[in-house]
């Protein structure tokens, strides 16, 4: 940390200069603002702010480094580290009552201030990436330039496509996704520079380049998996003058519906980041702390996202709703839904899409999707069913008495929106979540490398050793 803290802007420049920025020179057709004057790039914005950010941490630690910030009980140790304050995560903070804020802004505020596609109403995820990394709301021109940069970097190496093509179609899409992201390691600028020998001050610029590359390539990878498993295996080429979500939807085969494009922009924005302690964010950060490349760090996080208690819940929710529909037939009365909820609970399963480790209210990400549904598909049968479950499940879960939060989370709603537009293959849903999550967790990895965050190594004890520590005789 100490050496990183001494960095100045001047020290950062060589790292910037050595890292290529392929999209800088490309023209972005049809867009106004920067044909004559290029807007300040994301990398330059981050580099210019970095000395100030490093100074803040230095001042905080110098003045308050020995301040006690919390107590830890034995229950927390055995209870999944719930509530233990031990991580630094700059992009977002999750309040148990209010929900997520990205750099201090709620989801509705982000919907308001972040740049949109022409004629669109939902924010572009490119803008949220910028906000998470720099703390600043980008201009429209800056976001258009980032769209162009990601489009320019979207092509995947042929061996990665071949790897995906060789997967059996019944290998879960998340396993294929994680494998392909791992294989991108082959392209890692960070790993190559580290092998040659580089200074700590150069870490972040290579991490930035890798993160930009990997985010840019994720839609092509995800679309290849989708088209191989469920369609004809053909993926449309990326259109260099279009935004990230348009290209992703187009590669999946869903670009003809403008509302689906808007859904994609909203979806990819709100699934990005949910502070640092959730499994996918924490894992990416932890693995990254060993200086594994952004590709390997992200792949580790994606493997965590693929668990049913985390991101896979979006797949589980749609399956659960469909099973409910098949089971109760045309009798979708409140009573039959209540009975179905109880049968799920009594069989020892969780109600997917409900509960949360931190939240104690309805997830604002659920509300953002509900608002979208009310606007675009108010009469859809499945949406009505989701709304009915929303009215009933909190009461049942409260009566059941186990979960600390009986309200829905983000995963309770997303599948129903996707199926409305024809993306019905629920086993693919977590891949969409993963594309978005990369946009949320990689900014912190860049920041970690820029501020010289150390390798993580919390202390563990055996049960016997804990007993000794608390004075218990077992
Ligand atoms: N249905 C039934 N039981 C539930 C429940 C639910 N939806 N949510 C929590 N519980 C149970 C827990 O399993 C736990 O039971 P045990 O004491 O028998 O182990 C008890 O209630 C207490 O759990 P908690 O402290 O309220 O919740 P946790 O922090 O342990 O777990 C979560 C949080 C999300 C894993 C849990 O609520 C859950 O399993 N929900 C369903 C799966 C889901 O929707 N996951 C997605 C979360 C969002 C995301 O990451 O994408």
Give 405 Cα–ligand 1 centroid separation in angstroms. Answer: 8
Active site annotation includes 310: yes
Ligand 1, atom 34, lies closest to the CA of 356
Among candidate residues 273, 411, 413, 448, the one labeled active-site is: 411
Atom of ligand 1 nearest to the CA of 363: 48
Residues facing residue 408 across a β-bridge: 354
Task: Give yes or no for residue 43 having a pLDDT over 70.
Answer: yes
The Å distance, Cα 184 to ligand 1 centre, comes to 34
Using CB distances shorter than 6 Å, the residues near ligand 1 are 278, 309-311, 313, 345, 350-357, 402-405, 409-411
Task: Give tens-digit pLDDT for 387-414.
Answer: 999 999 999 999 999 999 999 999 999 9
Q: Residue 24: pLDDT above 70?
A: no
Known catalytic residue at 411: yes
pLDDT tens digits for range 333-373: 999 999 999 999 999 999 999 999 999 999 999 999 999 99
Set 356, 363, 413, 448: catalytic member: 356
- Cα of 79 to ligand 1 centre, how many Å? 12
Distance in angstroms (rounded) separating the CA atoms of residues 89 and 282:
9
Cα 164 to averaged position of ligand 1 atoms, centre (Å): 33
Q: Is 271 a catalytic residue?
A: no
Three-state SS at 405? coil
Nearest protein CA to atom 10 of ligand 1, as residue? 403
Nearest residue (by CA) to ligand 1, atom 50, is 310
In angstroms, the CA 441 to CA 298 distance is 8
Task: Please tell me the predicted confidence (pLDDT) of residue 64.
Answer: 98
pLDDT of 437 over the 80 cut: yes
Model confidence pLDDT, tens digit, residues 61-84: 999 999 999 999 999 999 999 999
Q: What are phi and psi of 9, to 5 degrees?
A: -55, -40
CA distances from 87 to 12, 140, 254, 312 (A): 26, 32, 39, 24
* Of the candidates 277, 301, 274, the residue with the CA atom closest to the CA atom of residue 287: 301
Q: Is the pLDDT of residue 23 over 80?
A: no
Question: Residue 94 belongs to what H/E stretch?
Answer: strand 92-95
- Check pLDDT > 60 for residue 35: no
pLDDT at 17: 39
Q: Name beta bridge partners: 116.
A: 123
Q: What is the dihedral of CA 220, 267, 189, 88, to 10 degrees?
A: -160
For 430, counting Cβ atoms within 10 Å of its Cβ (0-12 exposed, 13-18 middle, 19+ buried), the class is buried
Rounded Cα distance between 179 and 299, Å, is 7
275 neighbors 257 (Cβ within 8 angstroms): no
The per-residue pLDDT for range 181-234, each reduced to its tens digit, is: 999 999 999 999 999 999 999 999 999 999 999 999 999 999 999 999 999 999
How far is the first Cα of the chain from the last one, in angstroms, to the nearest whole number? Answer: 42
How far, in Å, is the centroid of ligand 1 from the Cα of 109?
29
- Which strand (E) or helix (H) includes residue 99? strand 99-102
Q: Quick one: pLDDT at residue 229?
A: 98
């Amino acid at each position: 940390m100490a050496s990183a803290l001494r960095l100045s802007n001047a020290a950062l420049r060589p790292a910037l200069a050595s890292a290529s920025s392929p999209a800088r020179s490309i023209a972005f057709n049809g867009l106004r603002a920067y044909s004559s004057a290029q807007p300040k790039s994301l990398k330059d914005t981050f580099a210019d702010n970095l000395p100030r950010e490093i100074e803040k941490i230095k001042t905080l630690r110098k003045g308050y480094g020995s301040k006690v910030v919390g107590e830890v009980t034995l229950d927390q140790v055995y209870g999944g580290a719930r509530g233990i304050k031990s991580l630094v995560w700059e992009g977002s903070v999750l309040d148990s009552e209010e929900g997520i804020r990205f750099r201090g802004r709620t989801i509705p505020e982000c919907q308001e201030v972040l740049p949109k596609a022409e004629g669109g109403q939902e924010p572009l995820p490119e803008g949220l990436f910028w906000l998470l990394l720099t703390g600043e709301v980008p201009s429209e021109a800056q976001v258009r330039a980032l769209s162009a940069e990601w489009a320019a970097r979207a092509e995947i190496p042929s061996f990665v496509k071949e790897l995906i093509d060789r997967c059996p179609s019944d290998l879960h899409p998340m396993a294929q996704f994680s494998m392909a992201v791992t294989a991108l390691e082959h392209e890692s600028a960070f790993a190559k520079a580290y092998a040659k020998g580089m200074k700590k001050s150069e870490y972040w610029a290579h991490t930035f380049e890798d993160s930009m590359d990997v985010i840019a390539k994720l839609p092509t990878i995800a679309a290849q998996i989708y088209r191989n498993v469920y369609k004809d295996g053909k993926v449309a080429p990326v259109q260099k003058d279009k935004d990230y979500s348009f290209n992703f939807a187009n590669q999946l085969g869903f670009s003809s519906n403008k509302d689906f494009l808007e859904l994609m922009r909203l979806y990819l924005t709100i699934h990005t980041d949910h502070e640092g302690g959730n499994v996918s964010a924490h894992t990416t950060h932890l693995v990254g702390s060993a200086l594994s490349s952004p590709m390997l760090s992200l792949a580790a996080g994606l493997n965590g996202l693929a668990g049913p208690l985390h991101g896979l819940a979006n797949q589980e929710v749609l399956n659960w709703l469909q099973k409910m529909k098949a089971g109760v037939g045309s009798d979708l009365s409140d009573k039959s839904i209540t009975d179905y909820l109880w049968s799920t609970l009594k069989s020892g399963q969780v109600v997917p899409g409900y509960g949360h480790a931190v939240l104690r209210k309805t997830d604002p990400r659920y509300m953002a999707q509900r608002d979208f549904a009310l606007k675009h598909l108010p009469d859809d049968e499945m949406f009505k069913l989701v709304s009915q479950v929303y009215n009933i499940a909190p009461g049942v879960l409260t009566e059941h008495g186990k979960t600390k939060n009986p309200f829905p989370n983000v995963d309770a709603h997303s599948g129903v929106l996707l199926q409305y537009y024809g993306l019905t293959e629920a086993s693919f849903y977590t891949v969409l979540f993963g594309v978005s999550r990369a946009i949320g967790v990689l900014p912190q990895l860049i920041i970690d490398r820029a501020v010289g965050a150390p390798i993580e190594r919390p202390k563990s004890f055996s049960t016997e050793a804990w007993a000794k520590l608390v004075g218990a005789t077992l």
